[in-house]
Structure 1
């Protein structure tokens, strides 16, 4: 269960913040909520911004809790980049300490419905219902798994940085354009790589890949809903096993930041193997970045789905 910061702690952090708009080195201070937002902020900001991440590497971002120092960072930042509804503790801190200098990535794009993302993962359930943990506004937060949506957000981040630091606005815009081109190239690689496949059903431990499936014409079959820590019912496991057998599924995907046990159990049941499909909520390899992980995802998908090279 996510825990929010106590109001007293939020107030204490607000009072201790000095409201500075720049880091100690004079650069624009940008605080980001989790990895994909950190990635685009670093690429767009370049060497004239200092970017920090509220979610530690390898940590599950859904359940992030903030200490007083992190709330102070939000209060003192020149710009806060977050995703409303995804991390309640961050939402609370922004509302009380940073609403005048915060940018909500959800305002830049059309988010998909969490209900539609979870619909297939709950078909045919009996007994006790499973409830997915979704954004507070009922949307699926994982937009960054569609490179074109991430490009749109990067362009908006550039505009927000330009407002906070007008002297470098043109540089931010130029770097966002370069990043957008790279993301569109990646999008083309996915489109080509997943164009002709033996199977189009993507069996995942939880339904984090709605945007990827929607963009590239795949069908996501989630063992659980959007919440990566949810436990599937025996009925749900049986239903997914039946679907996997019907579709000739050879691979059950699990994620880097959660236990693979459920995926392994299902794989044994259907005679399939397991593989990693990374939702990119946080990095576990310091030598990796958004592009390398997404290309690793593409390689895993083309192998699992029997796609033509």
Structure 2
């Protein structure tokens, strides 16, 4: 009876999810990443010394995706499994339990060390998304439970305990607040947090492959310089603007708002699929009119229906603000990346907040 939940979860994992790309390359450090920003940073730091497989396919939003059986096979053979953590990938605990018993893969939550933002589920229009985050957080706490017998089970358990250290403050806050607070996982949307994540990725590569440490350090330094320049540009340009209020379709920009002096108002919660209450839309429409907000921001990987509905109600326009959770097929074809998308975000913010 105790095995049934794990077996059912494994069936779900192997039956669902769009297909990811890539295959294991013998003789290289194989790294599995869960979604686009981690994939990009890992590829830049790792260079030709590693083989990177990104689980999330192009054009897919990470909140709704679950792995396939081939992803379990590839991860079992890899040396590193890099995921965001902070509750973004709620499927990770069961996924790690599903790996082959002889796997030596090291699991690392690359957002560890970021100053997490806690969000209150009673905060108006955030109900649906935060309930989703609570489920994911509960799943990560469950990862501390029983594993299969054997050496790999112990290693997997140790890896999960290490990754869960990043959530210790969150768990204490949850207890203190009566489980009303949950972690916002969208860390990478701020270049300041992205810098921390990039360093964690570099350290993971060095630990897994110390022979190529010099290359990892050199490429990380170049990436860090670009992230620092992006951070400085966001600080300088946004500080000039008279307006600071933004209305977004998906509550994914709290780290960006905190780090650069903006105030975020979201139609939906932490999950882009959360349905807002009718009164929330009425309140947001009133806020838009009162604050003189000119644009409602939406993102490409989820429906823009609610953003357009609110914009029509408030008599304003819509514009893209990209949480950089993944690329569309057009963006991949055009050669877009984290930096080009964040630059477009900055230009759209400048236009909207003038």
Indicate if the aligned counterparts of 1:62 and 1:87 stay in contact, CA closer than 8 A: yes
In 1, Cα distance between equivalents of 2:194 and 2:245: 24
Indicate if the aligned counterparts of 1:79 and 1:102 stay in contact, CA closer than 8 A: yes
Indicate if the aligned counterparts of 2:75 and 2:105 stay in contact, CA closer than 8 A: no
Indicate if the aligned counterparts of 2:35 and 2:54 stay in contact, CA closer than 8 A: yes
Within the candidate set 330, 342, 345, 1:294 is matched to: 342
Three-state SS of the structure 2 residue aligned to 1:156 is helix
| 1:276/1:8 CA distance change after superposition, 3 Å | closer
* Number of the residue aligned with 1:112: 117
Indicate if the aligned counterparts of 2:46 and 2:216 stay in contact, CA closer than 8 A: yes
* Number of the residue aligned with 1:27: 28
Query: Is residue 277 of structure 1 aligned with residue 277 of structure 2?
Result: no
* Number of the residue aligned with 2:281: 237
* Root mean square deviation, CA, Å: 2.4
> In the TM superposition, what whole-angstrom CA distance separates every residue of 1:224-283 from its partner, at most 9, and x where no partner exists?
211101121110100000011010010000111111111111111111100010001111
* Number of the residue aligned with 1:193: 237
* Number of the residue aligned with 1:221: 265
Within the candidate set 164, 174, 183, 1:139 is matched to: 183
Query: Is residue 77 of structure 1 aligned with residue 83 of structure 2?
Result: no
Q: Report deviation, 1:88.
A: 2.0
Q: Report deviation, 1:110.
A: 2.4
| 1:219/1:6 CA distance change after superposition, 3 Å | same
Q: Report deviation, 1:146.
A: 1.1
> In the TM superposition, what whole-angstrom CA distance separates every residue of 1:56-109 from its partner, at most 9, and x where no partner exists?
011011121111110111111111101232112233212443685111113232
Q: Report deviation, 1:155.
A: 1.2
| 1:183/1:276 CA distance change after superposition, 3 Å | same
Within the candidate set 209, 212, 216, 2:253 is matched to: 209
In 1, Cα distance between equivalents of 2:12 and 2:283: 45
Instruction: Name structure 1 gaps, 5 residues minimum.
Output: 13-21, 123-128
What is the TM-score with the length of structure 2 in the denominator?
A: 0.76
Indicate if the aligned counterparts of 1:39 and 1:290 stay in contact, CA closer than 8 A: yes
In 2, Cα distance between equivalents of 1:269 and 1:105: 40
Which is helix-richer, 1 or 2? 2
| 1:99/1:114 CA distance change after superposition, 3 Å | farther
Aligned pairs for 1:9-48 (under 5 A) are: 9=11, 23-48=24-49
* Number of the residue aligned with 1:171: 215
In 2, Cα distance between equivalents of 1:8 and 1:144: 29
Indicate if the aligned counterparts of 1:29 and 1:77 stay in contact, CA closer than 8 A: yes
Within the candidate set 74, 77, 93, 2:95 is matched to: 93
Indicate if the aligned counterparts of 1:82 and 1:103 stay in contact, CA closer than 8 A: yes
Query: Is residue 156 of structure 1 aligned with residue 200 of structure 2?
Result: yes
Three-state SS of the structure 2 residue aligned to 1:303 is helix
Instruction: Name structure 2 gaps, 5 residues minimum.
Output: 1-5, 15-22, 138-169, 171-181
What is the TM-score with the length of structure 1 in the denominator?
A: 0.87
| 1:153/1:131 CA distance change after superposition, 3 Å | closer
Structure 1, 204-213 or 151-160: larger mean CA deviation = 151-160
Indicate if the aligned counterparts of 2:322 and 2:341 stay in contact, CA closer than 8 A: yes
Structure 1, 288-297 or 221-230: larger mean CA deviation = 221-230
